[in-house]
Amino acid sequence: MSAYTIVQAAQVPDVLGDYPGEMRFFGEPLECEQVAFTYRRMPAQTGSKGGYGHRHRTQEEVYFVIEGTLQFKLEDEIVDVGPQTAVRVAPSTVRGVWNEGPDDAHLVICSVKAEDLATEGEKVDGFWPAD
């Protein structure tokens, strides 16, 4: 492994498939040994609302809103988070993120790299019902 790696977003696959927006996991393309780094673009009316939330077994996450305003549901509390703002979420906290709109929102999600993704996260169905 070299002392540094440079990767452009266009070189990292979008894992969302047909879901609107984009979500790119940079850890593997960057050859990260310790850090999970994700870029997400969320169009208006996308995210967790009306769906599920999630929590982690050991991973603390930091969400940094680059542009736009997002709603975070953290357990039973909903907070609006604007640009240039970071949110730290403890592992066991059930969370979801929603872009009410009208514009796209851009954010980065960072955490320690999970050893086993299959056992690290837990999906919580019905966490954030639609209005």
Per-10-residue mean pLDDT, the chain, length 131: 91 95 96 96 96 94 98 97 98 97 97 87 93 78
Output the CA torsion sign for 113, 66, 43, 61.
positive
Q: Which H or E run includes 117?
A: helix 117-120
Identify the CATH class of 12-116.
mainly beta
- Boundaries of every domain in the chain: 12-116
The answer to whether the CB of 63 falls within 8 A of the CB of 84 is no
Q: What's the mean per-residue pLDDT of the chain? A: 95
Q: Where are the beta strands (DSSP E) in the chain?
A: 22-25, 35-42, 46-47, 51-56, 61-67, 70-74, 77-81, 85-89, 95-99, 105-112, 121-128
Q: What is the pLDDT of residues 3-20, one digit of tens each?
A: 999 999 999 999 999 999
pTM over 0.85, yes/no: yes
